[in-house]
Amino acid sequence: MSSITAISSFALIAALAAAGPQAQAQSAPPEATEQAAGDTDAAQATDDDPQERSLSSKAAEAAGKAAEKASEITGAVVDKVKAAVDKARADTGITDAETDQPSSAVAPSNAEIQRQTQPATNAGSAKITKPDDAAGAVATPVSAMAQGAPTKREWSRLKGVSEAVAADYKANLESLFVHFHENPELSFRESKTANRLASELKALGYEVTQGVGQTGLVAVMRNGDGPTVMMRADMDGLPVEEKSGLAYASKAMQEDIDGEMKPVMHACGHDVHITSLVGAARQMATRKNDWKGTLVLIGQPAEERISGAKAMLDDGLYSRFPKPDYAIAFHVAADLPAGKIEVNDSLVSSSSDSVNITVRGIGAHGAGPHKGVDPILVASHIVVALQSIVSRSINPLEPGVITVGSFHGGFKHNIISDKVDLQLTVRSNNPKVRDQLIAGIERTAEGIARGLGVPENLLPIVEYGFESTPTTINDTPTAKLVRSAFVDKFGADGLVNPPAEGMGAEDFAYFVQPETGVRGVYFAVGGTPEDELANAAGHHSGLFKVWPEPAVKVGTEAMTTAAMKLFATPPASLGASGQ
Ligand SMILES: [Zn+2]
Ligand SMILES: [Zn+2]
C-alpha cells in the first residue's frame, strides 16, 4: 500500500514541481499570490475565480488593531456623525422626496441612518468621509482614511456635477452603497438587487423592464433625437465569506444556481458599480435639458460567471430595447489610487475560456495497478504537458495562460479510481491564439491518455464554451474622446496609466463585439487610498474592500461626464471604429 501511495504522490509532486511558478504562487502569502497571479488588474478586468484567498496574518492583525481603536471612539462619535449627516441634508436642501427616493419603504429610517452612519467612525471601514466634510471632522480615523482621496484642489475642479453628486452621496448614495454591500446576491440570483435598482430608477422617470437575461434589468429614458448611450453596471456578488472587518460586512448566505448554500460577499466591488449607476441616472434625469438622445441603463447579472452579458443579449437586449451607439461601463479597482481613472485606447481585458477535462481510467485495487488504468497518473501528466502549449505552440510575442485551477479525483489510499476532473481557465488576447490554446489542450489530453494506455472509448472528454468571453477592446476614437472629457473634468492628474498586469477577463466584451457595431469604452476607477495600495487585498478576497468615497462619487461623475460627451457626439463623426 505504501508503495502505491508513493507512486500517486510522485505523480502529483512531479506535476506541482513542473508547474513551478503556479505551485509557488499557491503556497506564497496572499500579497505574493496577488502579484504572482497578476490579479492586480482584476479591477479593469475581473477575474472569474471565486476562491477566497487565505487571511493574511499581517492584515488580520492590522484589522484587529484598527477595529479595537475604532470601537473605542465609536460610541462617542455616532451621534455627532448622525447630526452631521442630518445637517448635510438640511444644508443641501435635499430631502428623500426631493431626491426621488422611491418610497418611504426604501428610504433609510432614522434608525437605519444611525446604523449605516456608524461605520463611518470605524477605522477599516470603507465608509469614509472627506476631512472637510462635517461628518469627517469628528474623528481622526475618518480623515486618516481619506488619504489618497482627491485633494481639495482637485475637488475644486469638479463644479456642477461634482457638487450635485457630493450632495447626492450624502443624502442617498452612501446609504445605498451600504445597503448593497450588506445584501449581496450570487450570479443569476440578484433578484432583490434588481428590485431595488428598479425602484430607484422608476422613481427617476425611467421605463424599467426586469427579467432580461434572467435577473437582468433594463431602464430607458427617451429624450429626443440623438445618439443612444448605454451604461452598464454588473450586479452580482461572489461566494466568499467576508472578513474585511467593515462594520457593514456581509453576513449573507444564499443558495447558488447549482443548489449549494454559500456565503456571499461583494468581493469584487460591483456594489460600487450599481450605486454609481443610480447616481449617474439621477444626474442624467435632472439634466435632461443638457442632452438629447436615448439613455439605456442596464443592471447585468452574472458577470462573475461571465454569462450575464450574453444572457441579456440572447434575451433581446439589442432588439427589444433601443440599440446603443455607445456602451460605457467601469470597474472599481482595488489596485488603483482612490478616485483616479484609467482609460485604455484599445485592449482592456483578455478572452477567458473555462475548460473541463474529464480524465477517465479503469478502477483497480491500489496494490494491483497493472489491472487498471490510473486516471490520477494520466491527469498529472496532462497537467504538466499543458504547460508546454504556451511555450511551444504559440507565437512567443503573444501572451497566453493555461491555469489548472482544480484537480479532483480518487477516493482512498488503496483504490485506483476511474475518474479525475480538471478545471482550467484559458486566457489570450488574440482569437487565433485562443483557438490554438483550445486545440492544444484537446490534442495534449488525448495524446497523453493514449500514451498511458487509456482505451479509445475512455479518452478524456474536453468541454468548453459554457463560461467564456472574448477580449474586451475599447473603440479607440471613442476612448480618446472620453478620456479627453475626463481630463477636462478631473484634470490630467485625475487619470493614471499603469502598465498592464495579468490577463483578467470581463464579459462587457459581448456588448461591444465588432459585429454589434456598438462603440464601447470600459474604464477603471481607483478604490484604495495611495498609502494603502501596497497592502490592499485583491478582488475576490474575503479581505477585499474599497473606499466608496471617492469611488462612488468619481464613478458617478465619470459615467455622467462620459455620457454627456457621447450624447454631444454623433457616432459617424468619429469615423471608422478603431477596434
Ligand atoms: Zn470579479
Ligand atoms: Zn468584478
Per-residue pLDDT reduced to its tens digit, 293-344: 999 999 999 999 999 999 999 999 999 999 999 999 999 999 999 999 999 9
Ligand 1 centroid–CA 238 distance in Å is: 8
Classify 143-211+237-291+301-308+332-346+473-498+518-574 by CATH class: alpha beta
Annotated domain spans of the chain: 2-37+351-469, 143-211+237-291+301-308+332-346+473-498+518-574
Q: How far is Cα 369 from Cα 417, in angstroms, rounded to an integer?
A: 10
Ligand 2 centroid–CA 525 distance in Å is: 12
CA proximity to 272, closest of 566, 6, 527: 527
Of 236, 506, 549, 557, catalytic: 236
Q: How far is Cα 576 from Cα 277, in angstroms, rounded to an integer?
A: 29
Ligand 1 centroid–CA 177 distance in Å is: 17
Strand 216-223 with 261-263, pairing: unpaired
CA proximity to 449, closest of 378, 393, 526, 356: 378
Query: Is the separation of the CB atoms in 61 and 115 below 8 Å?
Result: no
Give the up-direction half-sphere exposure of residue 84: CA atoms within 13 A in the CB hemisphere.
Answer: 21
User: What is the per-residue pLDDT for 65?
Assistant: 54
Query: Is the separation of the CB atoms in 124 and 66 below 8 Å?
Result: yes
In angstroms, the Cα distances linking 575 to 228, 476, 569, 570, 579 are 17, 11, 11, 10, 12
- What pTM was estimated for this model as a whole? 0.72
Q: Which ligand number lies closest to the CA of residue 47?
A: 1
Strand 228-234 with 293-300, pairing: parallel
Positions in the chain whose pLDDT score sits under 50: 1-60, 63, 67, 70-158
| Residue 463 annotated to the active site | no
**For residue 118, with 0-12 CB atoms within 10 Å meaning exposed, 13-18 middle and 19 or more buried, which class applies?**
buried
CA proximity to 279, closest of 550, 506, 518, 482: 550
Give per-residue pLDDT as tens, 70-127: 444 444 444 444 444 444 444 443 333 333 344 333 333 344 433 443 333 333 333 3
| Residue 236 annotated to the active site | yes
CATH of domain 2-37+351-469: 3.30.70.360
Q: How far is Cα 99 from Cα 172, in angstroms, rounded to an integer?
A: 8
Ligand 1 centroid–CA 385 distance in Å is: 29
Ligand 2 centroid–CA 505 distance in Å is: 9
Residue 407: which H helix or E strand, with range?
strand 400-409
Query: Is the separation of the CB atoms in 197 and 235 below 8 Å?
Result: yes
Q: Is 501 helix (H, G, I), strand (E, B) or coil?
A: coil
Q: How far is Cα 282 from Cα 168, in angstroms, rounded to an integer?
A: 9
> 18: how many CB neighbours lie within 10 A of its CB?
16
Ligand 2 centroid–CA 518 distance in Å is: 22
Of 39, 47, 190, 303, catalytic: 303
